[in-house]
Amino acid sequence: MLIRPYIAGEEEELRRVFLSSVHQCAIRYYRSDQIHAWAPDTYDFEDWYNRISMLNPFVAVIDGQIVGYADVQGSGYIDHFYVAGPFSGKGVGTALMRRIHEAALSQNVSRLYADVSLSAEAFFVINGFTVENRKTVIVRGVELQNTRMSKILFAKPQLL
């Protein structure tokens, strides 16, 4: 498995990973109307392209196929973290999380945090994240539950 930076032109492949992850993995935790609000089949390509470009994610590749992607922002926020359904539970998420930690530490980010789906919560707990709070968000007019989770990477020194 290779974890590498996103390359412009991969947006449609990343969209397929996103759809696969939500429709195949999250379906055990969310109703059908929630899944379709979160990951609709139709989308605005330009908006998606701009979003992915801004996130500048890491991409997981196995045998030339993109199987997952995740980002970490300078604030420590993980916005997208998706593994294609057929590759769930096969180490892709663990490899992406390891890369996120490396990137955060190299940028002196002391805390990681994310708004995590119910389907990803156990994975984040296994990776040392704790629950800050649970919330309900509205996506395309439909309520979805998620959890704000965080992890301290290192303590920042106190200023005197």
Q: What is the pLDDT of residue 159?
A: 67
Q: What is the pLDDT of residue 123?
A: 98
- The CA-based angle 69-84-39, given to 5 degrees, is 90
Determine which helix (DSSP H) or strand (DSSP E) holds 53, and give its type and residue range.
helix 45-55
- The CA-based angle 77-81-83, given to 5 degrees, is 170
Q: What is the pLDDT of residue 92?
A: 98
Tell me the mean pLDDT in the region 75-92: 97
pLDDT per residue as tens digits for the range 98-126: 999 999 999 999 999 999 999 999 999 99
Answer yes or no: are the C-beta atoms of 51 and 44 closer than 8 Å. Answer: no
Tell me the mean pLDDT in the region 72-79: 98
- Residue 157 above 80 pLDDT? no
152: left (phi over 0), alpha (psi -120 to 50) or beta: beta
